[in-house]
Structure 1
Amino acid sequence: GLYSFGPQTVISYTVGETPILEMPARGAAEGRGVTAPISARMLRIGPRAAALTLLVATHADRQAKLRVSHVADGPRRTDVALLSAEGPGDRPRGVSETTTIAAGVLPAIPRAVWKGTDDGRLLLTIPAGNEPLEFTVWHTRSPAANSERVLAEVAWRSFGTPVNFEQFTRGGPRRWPAILTTRISLLPGDGPFAVDVLAHPADNPWLAQMRFTGLDFFDDGDTLAACTWDGDVWLARGLKGLAREAKPNGAPDAPVELAWQRIASGLFQPLGLKIVAGKIHVTCRDQLVVLHDLNGDGETDFYENLNSDHQVTEHFHEFAMGLQTDDEGNFYYAKSARHALPALVPHHGTLLRVARDGSRTEIVANGFRAANGVCLNPDGSFIVTDQEGHWNPKNRINRVTPGGFYGNMFGYHDRTDASDSAMEQPVCWITNRFDRSPAELLWVTTERWGSLRGSLLNLSYGYGKIYVVPHENAGGQWQGGMCDLPLAAFPTGIMRARFHPHDGQLYVCGMYAWAGSATQPGGLYRVRYTGRPVHVPVKLHARRGGFDITFSDRLEPAAAGDARRFALKTWGLKRTANYGSEHFDERPLAVASASLADDGRTVRLELPDIRPTWCMEIKYSLRSAEGTPVNGTIHNTVHRLAE
């Protein structure tokens, strides 16, 4: 991991079983015909059972020769290693006969050995030992011959004072001392949901963009942590004020203040955050990192690399998305594949499980393109979305089981059968007009959301919406669809959400980067259920000759029994190596009759021509039991028809 101390960074790692601390430094040599920058690595190497070899530098001329010069200045003694391109011959551009790499160690290490290799590398072998060593390795590129004494003097002057590594590993001064305050005016909603804008300090002293990509809550109920796509982590304190001043309908009397603190920076495109045992864990493109505050000032002093098994290439599209844990403490996230290109590394296009202690990573399933997050199901399976693209005709929601293959032939796997029957089928295909880019899903686990408890929700980065996902298990194959929750679209793309463990309401965050319709850079919100009826579908059941829709709340029987209030159509897709798919064989599906079941919530549609279909649209215009309009659209998939 990395220790952060003001402008200094200490790298912590191991070689075999040997712990090592390393801090970079720099200096400059000037005088006696020598002008050169000097790079240095200040090191503390722990006990080592075997000798260690350090790569110090590489000469551009692979035929460079090594010469070691002993330099003494009173009690100060060191060896300077010089790797030089000597004599005539063809060389790389910019390398002359006198180009020399000079390097040294301060203080001198007994029995350390310099070595030059046949391919131009300069190595330093450090002997085995039971005691830790603290020293500095420096090197520079110098065009001047016989410059070792000048360079040694500069190195003694610049790096001769031993480094107190303990000072740099106990927590440093705050880098972002300002606590920024925002005010939130909360208003009661006039529908089943009210949305509270948890204002964030977009205008901050550091010009940091706040494009939120993950959030979670601390046990105190007052503080949340949120990460941003640009590499920061923030704390927002004051959530208890949302409940303390709440009226019976859930809206507080007076504005609530949130105190924002920037606590971490420099992370590589974080797209998931989870708090475990009071520690913030973040999914980054290069690692799963744990943030440690060592001195109690709130800021991160140590960035612990818990696991970095997933490999990184230069391709822009291979994001690491979402972060969840199971009951055993294992971590889960999805690793994207490359766009329009075959996979290069084993983790391209996979759902991954990381052991609780970070010791290993397992591939749970593969064949994904860009699965934006992960949801754990009560039965031990998973839900992930995927994005339209090559081998993926439209966006989709997948129920994932271990070992499954989900269709992307460009992913890393050994599958050669590109037929549709060779892949696991999704819960539903989602056409672009309905949701152009789905994000993460989550289950409604709180009683505060009334009749929606136990329902599955889907977030939309593309349109900034939240959908309910009614579904069924049709003989082992999950099938279902999506329908908007009755609330206005958010101004930013919604990426992640969690229910607050204390107030039971849904906190959502999001951002915009590209390929979305909700273009505000970022946002953080609370979605409150007001207690009013929701009237959204919570269950779908496809059967031979008909289709049943169960709503969250009671409906007016006359409207529910009027077949003219429903309009259905179906269409197909073609999965190929091309990007996406148009609609094929789009046609209306006639409704012979409609009726309302005895529960007052389930509408039974008789559809003589129903058959399995990749895509179906159901539009309805009904009334609630209280007489208010209930209008909506369902997009769904039917794989099997029950008898």
Structure 2
Amino acid sequence: MVKTCNYHLHSFAKVCRSVRVNWHAMAFQPAFALLAISPMTSAIADDESDYYRIITIAASESPTGSRSSNWKPAPDDLALEVSGLEVIDDNRVAVAIRKGEIWFLDNVYADPPTDVKYHRFATALHEPLGLLKHNGAFYTTQRSELTRITDTDDDGAADEYLTVAKGWGVTGHYHEYAYGPKLDKDGNLWVTLNIGMGLKGEHRKRTVSNPVLGYHQGRWRGWGMKVTPAGKLIPVCAGMRSPSGIGANADGDMFYSDQQGNWVATNSLHHMREGAFFHHPESLASMDQPGSPIHGVTKVPNGLPYPDAVKQFDQLRPPAVWFPYKKAGQSATDIMLDESGGKFGPFAGQLFVGEFTQASIHRVFLEKVDGEYQGACFPFRSRLASAVLRMDQGTDGSMFVGLTNRGWSSLGSASYGLQRLRWTGKTPFEVKEIHALPDGFELTFTQPVDRSSAEDVASYQLNSHTYLYHSTYGSDEIQKRSLSVESATVADDLKSVRLRVDGLRELFVHEIIADRVKNAQGQSLLHPHAWYTLNKIPK
């Protein structure tokens, strides 16, 4: 019997505690019907392709056995379940796949990609969940180590596999995934580690424990780690549940994405820095290990509204961005910075975050207020062929997207594959940025607005909510409140509007719906919904 896991995504390739599962015979089609999709996603999907085209490089047959128009098989029935993705140059990409191999794909920029060449570079890896080309070698995080892989004799196949770093605990529990690496501005490599779920029996014997809090986990599980250029493994921050996405912003600061579950109200984006604790307290089993930057936690509040928990729990740091559940995805994954300088459209310098269950991608704008990150998330592109797990930017500015729904169901016509998002050159009418103000928000747009609609306060709907910080799985939106827009003032260049809003609340998510705002041509916003995480109100 297969356990369906309620379709809440926590990480890559979770085997749902069944011993024998025929994944290709598994009845995924009914799951598609049950998956919850926000009305915003379905309503705008047909228009998104006017601005960002999806080009299929490879994709499996659909889970039901029918072949969609996007079906492009890899050779010899290669299951291209992409778990790592790295652009090599203006012709090739490298992909790690679930079965423990690295493949090079040539001719991937062709449109359509009719002559893609496949070459296996490396094999015999243990669950690689990331891929990076760095200093003339490829790096991947296997379940128990960070590995450097090279082809020393230039014959096209890897022949040297060196351990760069190890030292985190592995009990054998299925949920102990390890992700990365990603590179920061100082040349450090970052790795994030899942916690184990409900460790028992033999797994429990291999854990470290915190006698005060009573938590048991493998060493450094639920932590963000960095590896220095000298190869030293350093624990940096804790409180992660299923941190499958890692990435740097334009300033080189490191972020990770987490997924809803126990202690984690909904999907979230966090700034990783020394000594920060995020939400999952079982990571504190390693708090007293040598090198830990977190100390002195003796009590974890349970069952409080999140703003109250932050006030009572000194080490708890709020996420930079909350992704309201189902409205803005159900299972956040990879993080990609748009470094194209405009080749990928009007969002240069912003982050894109993958989404597993809904087979889509969200966009994130960040700003600093009082030295801390906060910002807004927006829908960006839906209807990828399968679950989005990995993303990387091509040399032409396009986005390569690695897909696999292994272990869970996702929307889409395929179980796995590789696609590319290409900007058509046509600029969508969107809210580009949202800045917090002492008395409201400033919205900037990708195109000039129609002054009459943008200055009409009836064009906007605002509300706010927070979540419960508790050991229960996820959280409903609580303490919800509608907000009044007192005035809307359009700038002289017609590219921004200042909203004066009554009732802003710190540490609350503020939903902003601008569904009646038009551009100069009378066109509505492609995505009128946005969610701003207001950790601090500017002075």
Structure 1 residue 509 displacement after superposition: 1.1
Q: How does 1:53-202 map to 2 (within 5 A)?
A: 191-199=50-58
The 3 A distance-change label for structure 1 pair 317 and 190 is: closer
**1:276 — aligned with what?**
134
> Is 1:214 the counterpart of 2:84 in the alignment?
yes
Question: After superposition, where does 1:584-603 map in structure 2 within 5 Å?
Answer: 584-603=478-497
Q: Which has the higher strand share?
A: 1
SS of residue matched to 2:344:
helix
Alpha-carbon distance between aligned partners in 2 of 1:384 and 1:204, rounded to the nearest angstrom:
31
Runs of 4+ aligned structure 1 residues displaced above 6 Å come to none
Which of 440, 449, 468 is the aligned partner of 2:344? 449
Q: 1:416 aligns with which of 256, 278, 298?
A: 298
Q: Measure, in 2, the Cα distance between the counterparts of 1:375 and 1:237.
A: 25
- Residue 351 of structure 1 is aligned with which of 224, 232, 256? 224
Unaligned residue ranges in structure 1 (runs of 5+): 1-188, 243-251
Matches of 1:302 and 1:206, distance apart in 2: 26
Q: Which amino acid aligns with 1:483?
A: F
Shift of 1:417: 3.7
Q: Check conservation: 2:75, 2:118, Cα contact below 8 A.
A: no
Distance in 2 of aligned mates of 1:379 and 1:584: 34
Q: Which residue of 1 aligns with 2:233?
A: 361
- Over 3 Å counting, the alpha-carbon distance change for 1:200 and 1:489 in structure 2 is closer
Is the aligned partner of 1:330 residue 2:188? Answer: yes
Q: How does 1:237-276 map to 2 (within 5 A)?
A: 237-239=106-108, 242=110, 252=111, 256-276=114-134
Q: 1:73-126: per-residue Cα shift (whole Å, max 9, x none)? A: xxxxxxxxxxxxxxxxxxxxxxxxxxxxxxxxxxxxxxxxxxxxxxxxxxxxxx
The 1:353–1:636 alpha-carbon spacing in structure 2 relative to 1, beyond 3 Å, is: same
Within-5 A mapping of 1:613-624: 613-621=507-515, 622-624=517-519
* Counterpart code for 1:392: V
- Structure 1 residue identity aligned to 2:531: H
Residue 273 of structure 2, aligned match among 396, 401, 406: 401
CA distance in 1, matches of 2:153, 2:256: 38
Of the three residues 309, 312, 324, the one matched with 1:431 is: 324
**Residue of structure 1 equivalent to 2:391:** 497
Q: 2:502 aligned with 1:632, yes or no?
A: no
In structure 2, relative to structure 1, the CA distance for the partners of 1:417 and 1:549 (3 Å cut) is farther
Equivalent pair of 2:85/2:131 in contact (CA under 8 Å): yes
- Of stretches 610-619 and 309-318 in structure 1, the one that deviates more from structure 2 is 610-619
Gaps of 5+ in 2: 1-47, 62-72, 200-214, 288-294, 302-308
Cα distance change on mapping 1:531 and 1:206 into 2, 3 Å = closer
Task: Give the C-alpha shift of residue 201 in structure 1.
Answer: 7.5
> In structure 1, what is the equivalent of residue 102 of structure 2?
233
Give a deviation string over 1:294-349, Cα, whole Å, max 9, x none: 55442333333332322311111121113212345321121111225544233201
CA offset digits 1:8-43 (Å, max 9, x no partner): xxxxxxxxxxxxxxxxxxxxxxxxxxxxxxxxxxxx
Deviations 1:148-191 (A, max 9, x none): xxxxxxxxxxxxxxxxxxxxxxxxxxxxxxxxxxxxxxxxx962
Q: Is the 8 A contact 2:176 2:221 kept in 1?
A: yes
User: Which residue of structure 2 aligns with residue 300 of structure 1?
Assistant: 158
Judge conservation of contact 2:196–2:218 (CA < 8 Å) in 1.
Answer: no
Alignment pair present for 1:642 and 2:538: yes
* Contact kept in structure 2, 1:428 and 1:614, CA below 8 Å: no
Matched, 1:473 2:357: no
**517 and 563 in structure 1: CA distance in 2 versus 1, 3 angstrom threshold:** farther
Q: Counterpart of 2:473 in structure 1: which amino acid? A: Y
Q: Deviation at 1:208?
A: 4.1
Q: Which moved more, 1:492-501 or 1:413-422?
A: 413-422
Partner in structure 1 of residue 430 of structure 2 = 536
Q: 1:277 to 1:472 in 2, by over 3 A?
A: closer
Cα distance between partner residues in 2 of 1:600 and 1:458: 29
Name the CA shift for 1:200/1:280 in 2 (closer, same or farther; >3 Å): farther
In 2: Cα distance, 1:207 partner to 1:198 partner: 15
Letter of the aligned partner of 1:213 in structure 2?
Answer: S
Higher relative contact order (CA 8 A, sep 6+): 2
Distance 1:641 1:406, change over 3 A: same
Which of 532, 539, 547 is matched with 2:441 structurally?
547
Mapped pair 1:224 → 2:117: no
**Following TM superposition, by how much is the alpha carbon of 1:218 offset from its aligned partner in structure 2, in angstroms?**
2.3
The two structures, once aligned, show a CA RMSD in angstroms of: 2.4
Partner of 1:311: 169
Size of the aligned set, in residue pairs, is 441
What's the secondary structure of 2:157's corresponding residue? Answer: coil
Once the two structures are overlaid, the 10-residue window that deviates more, 431-440 or 536-545, is: 536-545
SS of residue paired to 2:468: coil
1:642 match: secondary structure: coil
Supply the distance in 2 between the matched residues of 1:467 and 1:227 (Cα, whole angstroms): 23
SS at match of 2:281: coil
Q: CA deviation at 1:390?
A: 1.9
Aligned-residue offset at 1:602: 1.6
Distance 2:118 2:518 in 1: 44
2:411 matched residue in structure 1: 518
Amino acid at match of 1:432: Y
TM-score, L = length of structure 1: 0.64
Residue matched to 2:473: 579
Following superposition, the deviation at residue 206 of structure 1 comes to: 5.7
Shift of 1:237: 0.7
AA aligned to 1:210 is: L
- Deviations, residues 590-625 of structure 1 (Å, cap 9, x unaligned): 223323222322222222222224222222222223
* Aligned-residue offset at 1:204: 5.7
Is contact 2:369–2:536 with CA below 8 Å preserved after alignment?
yes
Q: Deviations over 1:400-456 (max 9, x none)?
A: 222211121111325334243221111122222121111122221112124211122
- Aligned-pair distance for 1:380? 4.4
Supply the distance in 2 between the matched residues of 1:229 and 1:261 (Cα, whole angstroms): 16
Cα–Cα, structure 1 residues 340 and 589, in superposed 2: closer, same or farther, change >3 Å?
farther
Shift of residue 530, structure 1, vs aligned partner: 2.0
Distance 2:351 2:130 in 1: 19
Change (3 A) 1:208 1:367: same
Aligned identity (percent) is 24
- The question of whether the paired residues in 2 share the 8 Å contact of 1:437 and 1:516 is answered with no
